[in-house]
Structure 1
Amino acid sequence: MTSSTRGQFTSRFGFIMAAAGSAVGLGNVWGFPTQTASNGGAAFLLIYLLMMALLAYPMLVAELTIGRFGQSNPIASLRKIWTKNKFLAVAFGSIAMLTASMILSFYAILAGWLIGFGAEPILQLIGLHSLADWLVTFSTGRNVFLTVLFMSLTVFVVRRGVADGIEKWSSRLMPLLFGLFLLLIIYILTQDGAMTGLKMYLIPDWSHVNAALVVNAMGQAFFSLSLGVGAMMVYGSYLKKDVNIPKTAGQVAIIDTGVAFSAGLLIMPAMFVARANGVQIFNEVGELISSGNLVFVVLPSLFDTMGFVGEFLSVAFFALMVIAALTSSIAMLEVPVACLHEEMNIKRDKAAMMLGGIILLCSTIIAANFGLLFDWVATASTMYMQPLLGVVWAVVIGWVWHRNALLQEIKQGHPEIETTWFWKIWPWYVKFVCPVAILTVFAYPFL
């Protein structure tokens, strides 16, 4: 399929919102603040920012460049570069498609819970108490129902294409997410206990700094930008040739980091506001409770102590979480949809419906066997497949792609780039430093 028949982002703003939406997910909104709190507050934050600049940003530029060069799905884009070994291009492109689908299959279950918790206060208010209680009580039926609801939203956006679907809805949802964040942060910071959480977040405790913290921060930065699964490669393929990729990638990384930082400004003070209102936030040994409990136990308990205002805040907070989840799920579904649409010449509408249905079936199987499958699928896709694919993309850029061809591609949006410090550093950095750094993240748990 030629680039002339493919969709494209119509504006740089639309692309930045879509790419930032892909990067901004549930990991930013509740995973990052809890990691920060458990790893020395600002000490973790500062090292995370360093890793975002040193590892995640160079790899984001790499994935976007591969995608724009190929002007196609990950399989075709890799095949265009990996001309001497097309089998590997197809194999790794297919693994990226599988990984994105696996992540979405468990992610959709979590995102469904958020819809349930967001709807619960509204249903309680209008008197539907039994339905409200059912939506926030763990059960296979509840999990499947909410997953179907969330996947339907995701398929609705993706089947509409790039400009009318992904770009249009990302451009609406991301500013809404920023606005909700700002309102919630301002409100929470005015409550008793908030300053204790703020100090924990912004004042570093350097005693926590060790090799494990550095690796955790590196992993958080890498996963934060949706790297490795082909999502950024697909989004890059919808970019116009005159876009300055290093500059645009920098803007996406800054927005993603800003959202993660804002999440800390919201969640950390909110935890200590909850404690001031009598909600338990530490376990028996004095450690902060897990991130899952934080979102589904601590914050709802906090909102319950606030009366009518708490009900409004609960709806707003979980709406924010659903938006963050939806903008990420759109990108994950787009990876296999683009592959099926272009490699097998299946209409986008049909491809989105088919793949959405297949992934939903997988989600249903996971939901029905939650204790057995959920953690396994999450671990296999995010801790193993994602970083190893990141290494492959670094190898493609650094070792497979001819350096002059790479320069010609990246020059199209930045004609003077050959004379800049970026070009003097980035190619060898991605060739040598990034694979070693990513493999360190991957290998550390086994050491």
Structure 2
Amino acid sequence: MGAMAQIRDGFQSRLGFVLAAAGAAVGLGNIWGFPTQAANHGGGAFLLVYFIVIFLLALPALYTELYLGHSAQANPVVALRNACSEQSKKMGAAAGYIGLSGAIVMLSFYSIVAGWMIAYSIEPVARFFGATAVADFLNSDTTLRNFIFTPIILILTAGIILQGVKSGIETWSRRLMPMLLLLLIGLIGYIATLDGAMAGFKAYLVPDFSKIMDPDLIIAAMGQAFFSLSLGVGCMMIYGSYLKPQENLPKLACSVALLDTSVAFLAGLLIIPAIFVAQQQGVEVFQDGKLIGEGRLIFAVLPELFATMGQVGLLVALCFFVLMSIASVTSTISSTEIPVAFLVESHGLERTKATWLVTLVVFVCSSVIIVNFDWLFGLVIMLFTQYQLPLMGLFYFITVGWMWRRGNKLLQVTSGPHYWFAQYVRFVCPILMTAVFLNVAFS
């Protein structure tokens, strides 16, 4: 094991880590989930509660997960097994395996959606060159399209993972994340010039304080904050384990949360004004006072809006879906790294073999979902987001707060801010997490 520890790849720079971890966290949840939740829960009021919740629940959870990985300098199965006492080692390892299978499940549906983003990115290019039949196919919701684009995403992801942490994950995160931010800001600037955008900014930024204590809003914000930082799968644990042993974790956790939250905030500044612009153009946006479903929003409302913009619309559509594709790839990378690292470290496989094996398994799972799309796709997403993520988050809090003694610096402090933080992780976080879970699971 000693020899392995020396050659374990890792992040070379803090910026590289922050961009990679934020990339793992910035996914479709931020860019399509967050604005929809905000629009349906009183705009500015939701924003305010969301920021509070990020601070109270998601940030400690992020820190806890990074801390577990960083202390173990190993993949989640090993990290959780080592963190648990002798009696509960099996439980720790089991939680690690649940996280691994969760990563595979997440990849199997996420890769399908990411494939759609790439198809939608190519569509305006095809339209521009007059290839209408191709454009219509790219826009169609067919099994064939899924079987073409899901493998494309899997191969793109594998290509990055094969290069390792430093040359693959870190290098690509440093390229893709700034591009994502530039596209996002550019699109906000353009949408802001259109008719109806101002009403959107107002709806998004001005809080309706009467809704602020609404339990639905608070729970929606807690759930969204937790999923937005992609906690509970082990992505952050594996990235934490690639940090150098002497890194300042609290500071890094804050940077990741800040960048992730900024992207979610910016996504709202883009999507909500865009919805109001679409409404101005006569596109149906609201049903029964609620925003049209999240999937429909990205794949129906916005493309209809882009279509009303003429030739410029093609460029705007291209930028938007390239943005979405980048957000999805930075997330598929981190989820793929979890099982790959496990196979490399715990089973001695070469990285190349491990990567292709994981990719193949995910492709098989994706294929099963594609073939049974109507009933399986929604079910898998629901089980994953409503049950697995909150329960794993709860388990991390309990592990760090209660079960893990040896090498756990959090439980050794007896006074000062660290002591209060440790007590907070032990007592308050599990209660908040349980509240989110019970509400989401049984509402």
The alignment status of 1:220 with 2:215, answered yes or no, reads: no
The within-5 A match list for 1:119-158 is 119-158=122-161
Match of 2:272 in 1: 268
Name the CA distance, whole Å, in 1 between partners of 2:347 and 2:246: 29
* TM-score normalised by the chain length of structure 1: 0.95
The within-5 A match list for 1:100-111 is 100-111=103-114
The alignment status of 1:378 with 2:393, answered yes or no, reads: no
Tell me if structure 2 keeps the 8 A contact 1:189–1:269.
yes
Q: Secondary structure at the match of 1:138?
A: coil
Letter in 2 for 1:437: L
Tell me if structure 1 keeps the 8 A contact 2:161–2:336.
yes
Q: Count how many residue pairs are aligned between Structure 1 and Structure 2.
A: 438
Match of 2:338 in 1: 335
The alpha carbon displacement at 1:124 in A equals: 1.4
The alpha carbon displacement at 1:409 in A equals: 11
The alignment status of 1:244 with 2:248, answered yes or no, reads: yes
Instruction: Give per-residue Cα distances to partners, 1:21-75, cap 9 Å, x unaligned.
Output: 0000000001100100000000011000000000000111111111011111001
Instruction: Give per-residue Cα distances to partners, 1:387-410, cap 9 Å, x unaligned.
Output: 1011111011000122x7322899
Name the CA distance, whole Å, in 2 between partners of 1:357 and 1:308: 40
Name the CA distance, whole Å, in 2 between partners of 1:378 and 1:177: 25
Tell me if structure 1 keeps the 8 A contact 2:410–2:422.
no
The alignment status of 1:432 with 2:427, answered yes or no, reads: yes
The alpha carbon displacement at 1:83 in A equals: 3.8
Name the CA distance, whole Å, in 2 between partners of 1:370 and 1:276: 34
The alignment status of 1:49 with 2:51, answered yes or no, reads: yes
Match of 2:403 in 1: 400
Letter in 2 for 1:435: P
Percent of residue pairs identical: 47
The alignment status of 1:254 with 2:258, answered yes or no, reads: yes
The alpha carbon displacement at 1:350 in A equals: 1.0
Q: Secondary structure at the match of 1:405?
A: coil
Instruction: Give per-residue Cα distances to partners, 1:210-249, cap 9 Å, x unaligned.
Output: 1111111011111111111111000000000121000000
Match of 1:413 in 2: none
Match of 1:229 in 2: 233
Tell me if structure 2 keeps the 8 A contact 1:277–1:305.
yes
Q: Secondary structure at the match of 1:9?
A: coil
Match of 1:70 in 2: 72
The alpha carbon displacement at 1:418 in A equals: 8.4
Name the CA distance, whole Å, in 1 between partners of 2:133 and 2:211: 45
Letter in 1 for 2:430: P
Structure 1 residue runs of 5 or longer lacking an equivalent are 411-416
Instruction: Give per-residue Cα distances to partners, 1:271-290, cap 9 Å, x unaligned.
Output: 1111112211112x232211
Match of 1:115 in 2: 118
Structure 2 residue runs of 5 or longer lacking an equivalent are none
Match of 1:5 in 2: 7
CA 1:408–1:290: 2 relative to 1, 3 Å: closer
Root-mean-square deviation (Å):
1.5
Name the CA distance, whole Å, in 2 between partners of 1:286 and 1:93: 42
CA 1:65–1:46: 2 relative to 1, 3 Å: same
Match of 2:38 in 1: 36
CA 1:409–1:186: 2 relative to 1, 3 Å: farther
Instruction: Give per-residue Cα distances to partners, 1:125-160, cap 9 Å, x unaligned.
Output: 223211111111111111121111111111111121
Name the CA distance, whole Å, in 2 between partners of 1:52 and 1:110: 26
Q: Secondary structure at the match of 1:375?
A: helix
Q: Secondary structure at the match of 1:346?
A: coil
The alignment status of 1:316 with 2:316, answered yes or no, reads: no
Letter in 1 for 2:276: F
Q: Secondary structure at the match of 1:13?
A: helix
The alpha carbon displacement at 1:208 in A equals: 3.0
Tell me if structure 2 keeps the 8 A contact 1:69–1:409.
no
Instruction: Give per-residue Cα distances to partners, 1:420-441, cap 9 Å, x unaligned.
Output: 52x1321111111111111111
Match of 1:206 in 2: 209
Match of 1:414 in 2: none
Match of 1:443 in 2: 438
Match of 1:351 in 2: 354
* TM-score normalised by the chain length of structure 2: 0.96
Name the CA distance, whole Å, in 1 between partners of 2:15 and 2:50: 26
Tell me if structure 1 keeps the 8 A contact 2:61–2:397.
yes
Match of 1:177 in 2: 180
CA 1:442–1:321: 2 relative to 1, 3 Å: same
- Where do 4+ consecutive residues of structure 1 move more than 3 Å? 417-420
Match of 2:369 in 1: 366
Give the stretch that moved more between structures: 360-369 or 35-44: 360-369
